[in-house]
Amino acid sequence: MIKLFSLKQEKEKEAANAAAGGEKKVAPGLIRMQKDVSEIKDSRGIKVEFPDKEDIMNFKINILPFDGLYKDGTFVFDVKVPKSYPHDPPKVLCETTVYHPNIDMEGHVCLNILREDWKPVLTINSVIMGLQFLMLEPNADDPLNKEAANQMTSNYQGFTRDVDRSMRGQSLTIGQKRYSFTAFR
C-alpha cells in the first residue's frame, strides 16, 4: 500500500513539474494517432483528408467504391478520434446522404468494429477498410436503416432499384420523410 501511495505522489510531482516548466504532456491517444496516420496506405477507392493539418484527431475519409451497388459514388465520412483512443473507438458519421442498410439517414454508421468489436489493437486503417467493405458489401443483418435492410432481404430487386435511383440523384421517401441524394451517375 505504501508503494502505491508513494507512486501516486511521484506522479503528482511529475505533473506539477511539467506544468511549472511549461512542458506540454502529449496525450497517449495523440501519440497512437501519429503512428496510425503514418501507416495510412493509399488504396484504390480511398482518400483521407486532414482539413486542419495541425489536428490529426479530426479528419475525413472519402470512400469511392469501384464495384457494387454504390459504384461511382463518393461517400464522405467525418472521423473524430477521442483522447482515450485507442481504448475507445473513433466516432464516424457519414456526411453523404445514402440509402444503405448500415447507415441511417442522419449519417450514423453501423460497423461492428466501431462498437462492440472494438479492440485497442485495431487501427485507423482497420476503420478505413471496414468502411470500404461496408460500401462494397452492405449487411442487412445488422441494420441502422431498417427500411433499407428489410427491402434488401425481402425485395432485393426493389432495393437495387432504389439504390440506383438515389445514386442518380432522385429523391426517395423513407419512413414518411422525403430525402434528396447527390447524383453520382
The CA distances from residue 22 to 8, 15, 54, 77, 171, in Å, are 21, 11, 20, 36, 55
* Distance, C-alpha 142 to centroid of its chain: 16
Alpha-carbon dihedral angle through residues 117, 123, 125, 126, given to the nearest 10 degrees: -10
Cell 444503405: give the residue.
100
Please pick, among 103, 110, 128, 135, the residue that the annotation labels catalytic: 110
Q: How far apart are the first and last CA of the chain?
A: 67
94 is catalytic: no
**C-alpha–C-alpha distance, residues 84 and 122, integer Å:** 14
Q: What is the DSSP letter of 34?
A: H
Active site positions, annotated: 110
